[in-house]
Amino acid sequence: MKFLMYSEAGEGAQILNRIKMEGNEVGLYIKDKIYKKGWDGLLPKVGPESFIDADTTIIFDLSGNGKVADAYRKSGHFVYGASEFADKLEHDRKFGFDIMSKAGIQTPETKEFTDFTQGIDFVRASNKRLVFKPSGKNLPCKLTYCSKNSKELVAYMQFVEKKFASEVDVFVLQEFVEGVVVSTELFCDGKRFLEPANHTVEVKKVMNDELGPSTGCSGNIVWPCDADIIVESLLPMDEICVKEQYVGQIDLNVVLTEGGEIYGLEWTPRFGYDATPTLMTMLEMDFGKFYYDAARGNGPDMKLSSGMAGGVRVTIPPYPVELVGHADPEKFSPNIGIPIQNYESYEADCYFYEVMLDDAQLVHSGGTGVILCACGLGANPEEALKRPYEIAEGINIPDKQYRTDLEKVLSKMVKEVNDYAA
């Protein structure tokens, strides 16, 4: 079988590497020039048009290239992930909330703004604890902010207005809901949802005790789940996804309250980082065959191991810097070429990101400083994180950094999800 991974920054390359190891022909295309060196010497780099033929399965590992993906589909190619529907679902917050409403999913009270003065006036008048969520093409994700009170939020929004107003297309102010945040994901082959669903809890702050800026993910726990109240709230999306002929995974991020109420927050219709790498640790089937069949509307139900999977993100400085809008990878990635050693005995449980070979040595390839997600399995969060911490401690990378309190934090979150959803 033949596979092309069409990637913005190479995040999905480790999955393509697994498909290659299964004996398939693969090609990797990385669109963003900042990340062009990623996976050099490890995977064949190709131009999409020269590589794709009638039987190629094209995998998109991120949203934002929906027009390209849909054009391939219209030309008769087999595509997994990405579509204009998925782009709109993730990036147009109002559209995302409208879809939640159609699916019968309640949302926190939310108001959309394009003018900072009006938004600030709303915050002052409401005197509530609110969450600020801006949208724009070149915005760092850390700008999303959960305030403690209205006074604090006003000051923060004034800062964002001064620094980023020209890049903020729209922003929403959302009522804060007390509870545990959990993501629930299902896979769709364009004809039906595949079973089983899975839950993910993750921590985003880069430092212990929820200090520092928010990141994509600092650590997570993933586990297969039965049809609990969260899964049941997502099932009406089946009809919508099939109508849109969406092929890929779709994740709903919700707040689950102690009383069992569910409030939808946002959609992630794409690979989740690091949720997808962690989930793939549980997949007991050929990766290539799974994506091949799903892209052709014949997706099999997923064979997942029992228990839970855990992931710990290992990074180096300047992480968690975000390179959005920057053109010079050398300037913003000063640690290009840092050696990664003593990984061989851990390699099967490592999901690598920004890596390449340099004179047969695995090194950092440049980017934000995300090296890998260390993964493991277990019956509970503590067991699932044992192997990831063994990897994080044992692998040799100068100035490596990772959170050391994930067992405590994630165990508590898993327990709350199970208790609240019962």
Report the C-alpha gap between 20 and 43 in whole angstroms.
8
Please tell me the distance from the alpha carbon of residue 237 to that of residue 246, in angstroms, as a whole number: 11
Beta strand pairing call for 25-30 and 2-7: parallel
Q: Tokens at residue 148, please?
A: 């403690």
**CA–CA dist 199, 279 (Å, integer):** 10
- pLDDT, residue 274, reads 97
Mean pLDDT of the chain: 94
Give dist(CA 182, CA 275) in Å, integer: 11
- pLDDT value of residue 331: 63
pLDDT band at 354 (very low <50, low <70, confident <90, very high): very high
Going from the C-alpha of 362 to that of each of 39, 353, 359, 369, 392, the distances in angstroms are 10, 12, 8, 14, 16
Listed by start position, the domains of the chain span 2-89, 109-175, 180-421
Q: What is the largest CA-CA distance in the chain?
A: 62
Over residues 300-318, the mean pLDDT reads 96
Residues 6+ apart with CB under 8 A from 412: none
Phi, psi of 166 (to 5 degrees): -70, -20
pLDDT tens, position by position, 358-402: 999 999 998 889 999 999 999 999 999 999 999 999 999 999 999
Nearest to 180 by CA among 422, 379, 421: 421
What are 375's strand-pairing partners? Answer: 311
Residue 358: count other Cβ atoms within 10 Å of its Cβ. Answer: 16
In terms of CATH architecture, what is 180-421? 2-Layer Sandwich (3.30)
Question: Measuring CA to CA, how many Å separate 3 from each of 22, 171, 190, 239?
Answer: 12, 38, 19, 28
| 93 or 308: which leads in pLDDT | 308
CB neighbours (10 Å) of residue 137? 10
Is the pLDDT score of 323 beyond 80?
no
Which of these ranges, 152-156, 162-166, 271-275, 359-363, has the smallest mean pLDDT? 162-166
109-175 topology per CATH: Dna Ligase; domain 1 (3.30.1490)
The DSSP-derived string for 294-310 is HHTT-PPPP-B-SSEEE
Token pair in block for residue 396? 């040799």
User: What pLDDT score does 143 carry?
Assistant: 85
Nearest to 59 by CA among 121, 123, 8, 107: 8
Q: Which residues pair with 180 in a beta bridge?
A: 256
Average pLDDT over residues 211-219: 92
- The 10s digit of each residue's pLDDT in 185-199 is 999 999 999 999 999
Contact 317, 399 (CB under 8 A): yes
* pLDDT tens, residue by residue, 4-32: 999 999 999 999 999 999 999 999 999 98
